[in-house]
């Protein structure tokens, strides 16, 4: 924590340095005066001594010049001789090296030429062999081509001879479809010639060569016609012509068989000729390729051998040269070393002579100088004594005003390391979020060199001033927290990143927030900080702002924040936000750090004006700009304000300098890249939910006895903290403050606020003072605890309510309004207080709380219209009778909502976190303040219809589920102690099925054993979606008293039938009712076992013995029965025998066996059974099955129908309404055709 003299606080540091600077300047001036006096005294003494010294020096200088010239001449001669000898040795060495190289290289070239000649000769021999093989291959190819041409000629001749049989031999003659081996013997040409002659000599070839078979047919038919002599009569020549054509065809086939073998042999001989040539060519090609590979391989080997010999020759040559040069170098080194030794001896001799001459000269010169020094020392000693006396006085003052003042600043670096350790231990995980806030944040190190003081410095050793004074430089809060960086963007961005991380590391979580504006870099240099938004969005306000409109808007919001802090928190009680935070505890306001890079780019005139306002009032309210400025400002006033309020660092030649003092500033750098990401994530994880402020519920709960408050004049209950010391109170019942409207997005704390209102009212006021009607349309169980704990104040608790049930609650409240109106008129009362005074009776104020009230208006139907009318009447008239409405919603926008005139009557507005559009809707048109709310539970209370002047920021207290449970238990205990006899609340849980065990009528029937049959049997199906008795159906002895249930889900239908059995069994004696169950599972099924456990008689039939069961029912129907019979049919679609067959079917069997027609009996029971005391309860899984099993004309005999979720078309087909298509999981619809009513209910679950 910072103290008054904190060595890290910039105000203290800069003030101390300014005082030290003044002390240094004064000391330097007085030291200079003393030094001048000493100097004047010494000058007078030394003037005379100097004149004598100058004469002696001139004489000695002449002697020195002559001596040095002689020595230099001798040294130059010796050096020239040495250089000539060294050059001769070097020249002889290089000549010998070159001769050695030339001799060895000539011998190598001779040997290599000889080897290369032998290699070329061998290569030429191999190439000649390869060329001869290629010529032979070409000749062989030409011969093979000739053979193929000759074979093709013979094939063409054969086809001419076999022209009449050409279709049979055309392909084989050219080698297609002819397979031969590659071997051949003898002369292939001779064999082919022979086969060709055999073909040519065959008589079939000659007969059919010129006249093909079709012409022979024509000739045969002509001959038959001619021989008949009756060409016009086909009957005369038709048969002979057919025989003639057949004869010709037989002759042709015989001829074909005779030439077939010869022709096929010729085709084989010709194909062998073609194949023999191809095989010879292929063999020769393989030989040529082998020779080519051999030539290539041997050539490669020759070249490789030559290359190897070349490498060996080069190696030998280099080795010989190296050996020869080594010998030459040894000789050259010996000669050179010998010459250097001789030269060194010669030069040493000359140097010794020169040294002796110089020694004698210097001895003479020293003697003269010593005499002058003795005279000078005596004079200086007297002057110095006077000077030292003055310095001792100045040194005493220096110790007090400089050394003592700088010591805390110098030691401050150690204090900084202790309070703000280096990044490494932080990166290694050795960091826990601090509990207390530091009021300083290190920025870097200020290095003040002796030149940076800007004044003359004392020079004597008495005045110890470090060459470089190193002190920590920090930002301090609240007075020195603003920073202006005039310099490079990259260096400034690095320092700003480091500063941001240091702020987060040194302040408790939830006490810092950042706004980053980067119009030039578009957030590039600050992108790493955006990881913070992954953990807590408010740490960095969601994003980096880059565009001019965004900058205007964000600076406007910050100015509004400053206004809120000044007007709502500081007022005239606190000077700064730091003082306020010390008193506020959990309600401490965050410090807002505004990082601006690239200023003033994209800053409009409005933005500049807003920034100027922030500079003027922001630091007092915890808003601190950190600005990197790239260009000079045209706005002189803003520039002056910047330099007045900010710590100014200016970059000069790549070095940052402190404008207020001078000196180099080394800014802290951000952690290395390897650590920074992990470090940012660690800070982010520590700040998860840091925006959450938890003011304990105990801050507003009654501290002593419960139920001590009265609501006669007004209903008042604390709901949170407003500022550091004040509680925010919800006040209803006076003036226009009668009803409240609450808006807040998901996670804003709206549910918590409702719980705080309900619980705290229940603690402060008894049930005689306030009662609740609680409706929650959300998909949750927010209000369930009040039903579970049987809150005595609660009249209705609706969890995940339906619109229909919510409407019934409004009707109940409206009825209460009507009754109170009559009571007030009867006694002449105008309000609750006057009614109590006039009658002496307790009358609680009624509080109707509806969360997500807009669910009433999601559909434009009768429900929404009636709800709108009822709410409007309750809001307008309820104020006079102590009935108050609190409506809550996530948003007030949308197409369907409560009338604006009704909302206008609700002057108490409570806004939690919401968007800008909802901020205007919940408040006034010029009051968008709620959009600036950032944390859960933070809200604005306004009891003047949203007028901006009446905003009261507050923080809702935190009420955990555990504490709420304990508080409600305390209320219940208080009710038991006082003996409150209030009816139990109506609890409606829309997210769960109803329980038969919670039905009071069934419980009463179960508790009393029936002595006789009921007048009318009834069945309880479920809990209603309204404040009324359970949903039930009655079975009078009249037609139509049957029940049909349709819907998917086996468990759902079993639960329905179980409710039927349990309801009827509770009302009937063992003798007054009988169960006939048609169940595919039979007696061992769940329904069969349940019915068997009941006292009434039971019969269970399955599809396999259906005929027997229906026969028994037919007999009872015909004979009549005293007991009521209830026929329960589960899944009628599984009983095929109950479906009427197609009356137009075809059959060879005469159905006159006397067997029972189960379908007709089923239909008779539907239409005639109820009047005879036989009622059907039938279930089916779909309307399509109902329409096939129950004829349309009999559907009206099911006066009572239960529908579960189904398509709109099926619902309309059953009850002329699509209502069943909108049902949820635990919902059903009961339709009574006789009464024309439709009732939504929650079916009973199965009893386990």
C-alpha to C-alpha distance for 1153 and 59, rounded to whole angstroms = 169
Place of tokens 């026969």: 1111
Phi-psi region of 613 (alpha: psi -120 to 50; beta: other; left: phi over 0): alpha
Question: HSE of 433 in the Cβ direction (CA atoms, 13 Å)?
Answer: 17
- 746 is known to lie in a ligand binding site: yes
Question: Which residues share a beta bridge with 514?
Answer: 593
Cα 456 to Cα 23, 32, 197, 362, distances in angstroms: 11, 9, 138, 42
Closest CA to 196 of 161, 226, 231, 239: 161
Cβ density class 222-253: b for 16+ within 10 Å, e for less: eebbeebeeeeeeebbeebbeebbeebeeebe
Residues 245/225, Cβ–Cβ less than 8 Å? no
Residue 54 in 3-state DSSP? helix
Tokens of 163: 């022209």
Check if the beta carbon of residue 739 is closer than 8 Å to that of residue 885: yes
| Distance set, CA 390 to CA 21, 37, 380, 396, 398 (Å) | 21, 11, 16, 11, 13
| 633 SS3 class | coil
The answer to whether 749 is annotated as binding is yes
- HSE at residue 555, side-chain half, CA atoms within 13 A, is 26
Least Cα distance to 729 among 738, 721, 741, 717 occurs for 717
Task: Give exposure, 428-438, as e/b (b: 16+ Cβ within 10 Å).
Answer: eeebebeeebb
751 is an annotated ligand-binding site residue: yes
606, 610, 611, 616: CA torsion to nearest 10: 140
- Beta strand 883-889 with 845-851 is parallel
Hey, what are 416's tokens? Answer: 């900084």
Helix (H) or strand (E) holding 245, with range, is helix 234-398
Is 1121 marked within a binding site?
no
Cis amide bond preceding 478, omega within 30: yes
Give me the helices (H) in 979-1049, please. Answer: 1000-1007
Distance separating alpha carbons of residues 448 and 500, to the nearest angstrom:
26
| C-alpha dihedral sign at 51, 56, 59, 63 | negative
Catalogue the E-assigned strands of 1004-1042: 1017-1024, 1031-1035
> Is 11 known as a binding-site position?
no
Q: How far is CA 540 from the centre of its chain?
A: 17
Residue 187 CA to residue 273 CA, distance in Å, equals 10
What Å distances lie between residue 481 and 441, 683, 993, CA to CA? 9, 22, 61
748 is in an annotated binding site: yes
Distance (Å, whole) CA 970 – CA 968: 5
Asked whether 222 and 183 are in contact (CB, 8 A), the reply is no
> Residue with structure tokens 């600036």?
932
Tokens of 761: 């009212």
Separation of alpha carbons 1077 and 853, rounded Å: 46
Whole-angstrom distance, CA of residue 642 vs CA of residue 171: 107
Rg for the chain, CA atoms, rounded: 60
DSSP state of 455: S
Q: Is 882 annotated to bind ligand?
A: no
* Inter-CA distances, 465 with 387, 395, 406, 470, 657, Å: 20, 12, 10, 12, 20
**Is 750 annotated among the ligand-binding residues?**
yes
CA gap 168, 1111 in Å, rounded: 86
Binding residues: 744-751
Binding residues for ATP: 744-751
């Amino acid at each position: 924590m910072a103290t008054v003299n904190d060595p890290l606080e910039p105000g203290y540091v800069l003030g101390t340095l300014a005082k030290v600077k003044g002390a240094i300047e004064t000391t330097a001036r007085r030291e200079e005066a003393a030094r001048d006096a000493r100097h004047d005294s010494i000058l007078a003494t030394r003037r005379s001594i100097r004149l004598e010294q100058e004469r002696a020096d001139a004489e000695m200088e002449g002697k020195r010049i002559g001596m040095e010239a002689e020595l230099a001449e001798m040294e130059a001669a010796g050096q020239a001789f040495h250089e000539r000898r060294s050059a001769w040795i070097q020249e002889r060495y290089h000549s010998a090296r070159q001769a050695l190289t030339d001799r060895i290289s000539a011998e190598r070239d001779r040997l290599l030429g000889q080897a290369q000649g032998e290699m070329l000769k061998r290569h030429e021999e191999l190439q000649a062999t390869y060329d001869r093989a290629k010529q032979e291959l070409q000749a062989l190819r030409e011969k093979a081509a000739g053979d193929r041409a000759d074979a093709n000629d013979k094939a063409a001749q054969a086809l001419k001879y076999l022209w009449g049989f050409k279709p049979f031999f055309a392909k084989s003659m050219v080698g297609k479809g002819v397979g031969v081996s590659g071997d051949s013997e003898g002369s292939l040409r001779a064999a082919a010639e022979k086969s060709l002659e055999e073909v040519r000599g065959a008589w079939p070839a000659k007969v059919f060569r010129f006249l093909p078979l079709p012409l022979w047919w024509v000739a045969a038919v002509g001959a038959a016609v001619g021989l008949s002599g009756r060409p016009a009569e086909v009957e005369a020549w038709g048969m002979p012509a057919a025989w003639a054509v057949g004869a010709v065809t037989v002759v042709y086939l015989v001829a074909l068989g005779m030439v077939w073998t010869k022709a096929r042999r010729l085709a084989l001989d010709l194909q062998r000729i073609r194949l023999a040539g191809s095989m010879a060519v292929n063999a020769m090609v393989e030989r040529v390729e082998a020779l080519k590979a051999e030539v290539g391989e041997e050539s490669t080997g020759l070249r490789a051998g030559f290359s190897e010999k070349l490498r060996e020759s080069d190696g030998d040559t280099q080795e010989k040269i190296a050996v020869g040069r080594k010998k030459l170098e040894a000789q050259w080194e010996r000669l050179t070393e010998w010459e250097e030794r001789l030269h060194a001896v010669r030069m040493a001799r000359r140097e010794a002579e020169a040294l002796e001459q110089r020694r004698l000269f210097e001895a003479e010169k020293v003697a003269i100088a010593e005499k002058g020094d003795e005279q000078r020392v005596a004079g200086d000693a007297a002057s110095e004594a006077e000077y030292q006396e003055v310095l001792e006085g100045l040194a005493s003052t220096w110790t007090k005003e400089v050394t003592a003042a700088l010591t805390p600043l110098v030691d401050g670096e150690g204090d900084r390391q202790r309070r703000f350790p280096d990044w490494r231990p932080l990166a290694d995980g050795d960091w826990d979020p601090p509990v207390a806030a530091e009021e300083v944040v290190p920025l870097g190190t200020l290095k003040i060199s002796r030149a940076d003081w800007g004044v003359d410095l004392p020079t004597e050793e008495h005045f110890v001033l470090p060459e470089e004074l190193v002190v920590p430089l920090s930002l301090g809060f609240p007075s020195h927290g603003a920073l202006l960086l005039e310099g490079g963007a990259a260096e400034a961005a690095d320092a700003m990143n480091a500063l941001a991380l240091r702020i987060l590391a040194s302040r408790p979580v939830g006490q810092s927030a950042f706004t980053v504006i980067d119009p030039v870099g578009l957030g590039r240099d600050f992108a790493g900080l955006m990881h913070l938004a992954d953990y807590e969005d408010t740490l960095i306000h969601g994003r980096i702002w880059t565009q001019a409109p965004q900058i205007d808007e964000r600076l406007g919001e910050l100015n509004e924040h400053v206004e809120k802090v000044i007007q709502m928190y500081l007022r005239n009680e606190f000077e700064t936000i730091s003082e306020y935070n010390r008193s506020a505890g959990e309600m401490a306001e965050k410090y807002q750090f505004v990082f601006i890079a690239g200023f003033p780019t994209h800053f409009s005139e409005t933005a500049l004006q807003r920034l100027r306002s922030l500079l003027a009032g922001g630091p007092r309210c915890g808003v601190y700009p950190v600005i990197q400025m790239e260009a000079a400002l045209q706005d002189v006033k803003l520039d002056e304000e910047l330099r007045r309020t900010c710590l100014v660092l200016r970059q000069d030649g790549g070095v940052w300098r402190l404008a207020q003092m001078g000196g180099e500033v080394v800014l802290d750098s951000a952690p290395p890249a390897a650590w920074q990401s992990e470090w940012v994530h660690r800070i982010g994880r520590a700040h998860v939910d840091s925006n959450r402020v938890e003011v304990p519920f105990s801050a507003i709960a009654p501290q002593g006895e419960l139920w001590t408050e009265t609501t006669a004049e007004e209903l008042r209950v604390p709901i949170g903290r407003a500022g550091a010391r004040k509680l925010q109170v919800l006040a209803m019942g006076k003036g226009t403050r009668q009803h409240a409207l609450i808006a807040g997005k998901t996670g804003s704390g709206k549910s918590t606020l409702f719980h705080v209102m309900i619980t705290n009212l229940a603690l402060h006021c008894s049930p005689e003072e306030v009662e609740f009607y609680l409706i929650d349309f959300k998909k949750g169980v927010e209000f369930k605890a009040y039903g579970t704990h049987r809150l005595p104040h609660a009249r209705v608790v609706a969890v995940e309510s339906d619109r229909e049930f919510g409407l019934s609650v409004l009707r109940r409240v409206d009825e209460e309004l009507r009754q109170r109106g009559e009571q007030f008129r009867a006694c002449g009362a105008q309000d609750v207080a006057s009614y109590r005074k006039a009658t002496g009776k307790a009358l609680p104020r009624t509080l109707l709380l509806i969360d997500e009230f807009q669910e009433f208006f999601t559909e434009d139907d009768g429900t929404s219209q009636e709800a709108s009318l009822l709410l409007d009447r309750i809001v307008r008239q309820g104020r006079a009778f102590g009935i108050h409405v609190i409506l809550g919603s996530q948003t007030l926008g949308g197409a369907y909502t409560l009338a604006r005139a009704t909302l206008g009557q609700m002057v108490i507005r409570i806004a939690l976190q919401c968007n800008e559009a909802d901020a205007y809707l919940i408040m006034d048109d010029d009051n968008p303040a709620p959009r600036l709310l950032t944390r859960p539970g933070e809200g604005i209370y306004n009891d003047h219809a949203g007028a901006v002047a009446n905003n009261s920021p507050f923080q809702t207290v935190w009420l955990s589920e555990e504490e709420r449970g304990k508080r409600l238990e305390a209320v219940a205990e208080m009710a038991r102690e006082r003996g409150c006899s209030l009816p139990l609340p109506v609890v409606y849980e829309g997210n769960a099925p109803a329980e038969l065990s919670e039905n009071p009528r069934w419980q009463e029937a179960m508790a009393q054993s029936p002595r006789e049959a009921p007048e009318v049997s009834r069945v309880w199906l479920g809990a209603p979606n309204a404040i009324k008795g359970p949903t039930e159906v009655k079975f009078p002895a009249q037609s139509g008293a049957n029940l049909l249930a349709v819907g998917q889900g086996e468990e759902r239908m079993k639960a329905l039938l179980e409710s039927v059995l349990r309801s009827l069994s509770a009302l009937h004696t063992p003798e007054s009712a009988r169960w006939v169950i048609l169940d595919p599972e039979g007696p061992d099924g769940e329904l069969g076992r349940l019915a068997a456990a009941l006292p009434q008689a039971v019969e269970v039939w399955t599809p396999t013995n259906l005929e027997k069961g229906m026969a028994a029912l037919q007999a009872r129907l015909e004979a009549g029965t005293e007991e009521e019979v209830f026929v329960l049919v589960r899944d009628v679609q599984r009983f095929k025998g109950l479906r009427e067959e197609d009356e137009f079917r075809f059959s060879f069997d005469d159905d006159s066996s006397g067997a029972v027609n189960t379908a007709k009996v089923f239909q008779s029971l539907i239409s005639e059974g109820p009047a005879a005391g036989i009622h059907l309860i039938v279930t089916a899984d779909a309307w399509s099955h109902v329409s096939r099993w129950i004829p349309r004309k009999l559907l009206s005999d099911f006066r009572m129908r239960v529908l579960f979720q189904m398509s709109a078309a099926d619902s309309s087909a059953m009850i002329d309404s699509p209502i069943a298509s909108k049902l949820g999981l635990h919902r059903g619809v009961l339709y009574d055709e006789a009464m024309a009513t439709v009732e939504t209910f929650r079916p009973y679950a199965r009893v386990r």
